[in-house]
Structure 1
Amino acid sequence: MSETETIAAISTPPGEGGIGIIRISGDQALAVGAKILRQRSGNPVTTWPERKVRLGYVVTAEDDPIDEVIYFYFKKNRSYTGEDVLEIQGHGGYQNLKRILSTILQAGARAAEPGEFTQRAFLNGRLDLAQAEAVIDLIRSRTDLAQKIALNQLRGSLSGVIKEQEDKLLALLVPVEGALDFPEDEIPDLERSKAQKELQAIRSNVANLLAGAERGIILRDAATVVIAGRPNVGKSSLLNQLLGEERAIVTPIPGTTRDFVSEIIDLEGVPIRLIDTAGVRASVDLVEKAGVEKAYRLMAAADLILVIFDAATPLTTEDRELITFLAEKQPIIVLNKTDLPVKLPT
């Protein structure tokens, strides 16, 4: 892989759609475009007005039409990647876009690696690292809040805060280095107390940024909430109730859930991955035993655990083992079947 090669890729998701987009980036973008694009009249494209939409055709090396398209050109240093970019918009659909991309590659471009367009934008100074990371966060955002935060980061909000702290540190460093390098010159004494206060303020701001990063990870990846308990205490019923749909099978037969069931919900802007696990109990059934072991692994890795107990039944051995296992996880206790006489210890 070379940064000087001209690259191309389909920019729209797989599947059928009204429009499919292919982008070409690099010094040879227009040379590749000249080989595969024709005007509506069938004549070669010889002029490339910047940022103006034009109608034409993509053709094969034998000049056979593949699709009617619109295309436009972004000049180097005024494009997303900082390179010459040619964008082609054809009709959506797997086969159509595959043929267009294949023709582009035969004309001299190379298939782009995943994320390579954004990588080039970073290397060419169009985006800094925080903004480059925000691109994928924006694409993968699952809630309105996550989308809003990713967009603000893409617009430079995080970069601005980091730059501000960097400038403050440099302002504190300059007089220190001056005093060390030129002790004989009349450099004003450092105001130590003022410098210490400013340094403490910077440390506090950085700590807030790190705390915000932890919240950002949850918004990006979703918080994992595991629903646990012994068989037939209502775990799957709770999952279905939280989702508002019949996602998990519910029966009176203990051990119905053998493997975990996972879905994501939007809780006031925070993505939550709910996981319904197999009922925890000793079992000689190999499949159920594997499900119980997986349930314990999921609980160990969870951000939060909802542990359900049957309020109408005294604590069992499985309940007590679960309580011991979760002692340091600070789970939320959920009591089910409270409409029946309560038999759990108070």
Structure 2
Amino acid sequence: MFTNTDSLLPRDDVVKFFEDAKTLLELRQDNNVEFWQNMDATALEIWLREDHPDKADTLNSRICLSALRELLSRHLAKMRCAAEWVHRIFEVSISELKSHPDYFILFSELCDDHPELLRDAYIHYGLAQAVQTLMARWYLQPKAEPLAGAKRALPHTFVKASDNEALARLLSRRWTSGDRFYADRDLLRPVVGDACTERKVLIFTRLKESENDSLSLAFDRARTVIEQGPRTSRLTETFADGLLRLPLTSSAGYLEHVRSRVAVLYLFDDRALFVEYPWNRSGTGHQRLAHAYSIGDKALPVQGTDYPVEQYDEVDTLFGWQQVYVPELPEWAAKALAGPSVHVPTSVRANS
């Protein structure tokens, strides 16, 4: 910890960056131990640079960067320790109390059962509060269960080309049906406004739609499957009840940019749909990316994994996804989005 000696206190700008980093962690964390085991100060530093390009000079300052990295490293070490203890206590020792909203235990009682926890509390300042916070977040909050057979819609935004000049310009370009790209969210701000919380957005072009199909793309139903073909197998993330399918190896270039949501802009003939699907790169996504390459290289056998297997000819999707890498949005398309500021209509959002 920093002492009370004024000369050793971190600078105000360092403290501000540190608080911003903690806010990012609060917004992006996955409710499992894997997130904290995989998250590191380098990733947080990248997020801060992406979110504050105007502060590059400050972040490049040796004194500022050194102090910030020290704060981030200590905070992450504390949270990693807290996460590992919460996982150990609830998953190993008292797993029957998981998800029980009335359960409460004092930190001192935990230390009575686990003396090593008290030792770690002396090493990591604030560990007691961190443990209690993660316990409440992971296990002790009541979870709303959807009605049987009901499909819950994710927050989504429909934008009409007739109401949005930037979208009209984008749709007027010659696209091949089903083309896909990724783009920086700042390029798409004239279309989606502030609806996007991620830095990179996937774009699918010239999709044919019916009203039911487009709304189905916003359904909150995702799972990870192994798509098995005659000669190859691939690990695939499926969203919207399987309508959107992202093979992990061919999508890795994009998924490496993801923080906690797969942001997608679907372009139809005269309108667009924007949706963000939960997917955490530093949480469960980290292990799935590793498994994807192992399955593709046949180092990890398909049979015996925890992922359900689907045959290629059984896959029914709104549109196909070929086994190719996702390129960045072409410059000519980016230029189509440029122009005078346009009014972005109020987002039409489903209840989450």
Give your verdict on TM over 0.5.
no
Q: Whose strand fraction is larger, Structure 1's or Structure 2's?
A: 1
Shorter chain as normaliser: what TM range? Answer: under 0.3
Q: Whose helix fraction is larger, Structure 1's or Structure 2's?
A: 2
Identify which of structures 1 and 2 has the higher relative contact order when contacts are C-alpha pairs closer than 8 Å and 6+ apart. 2
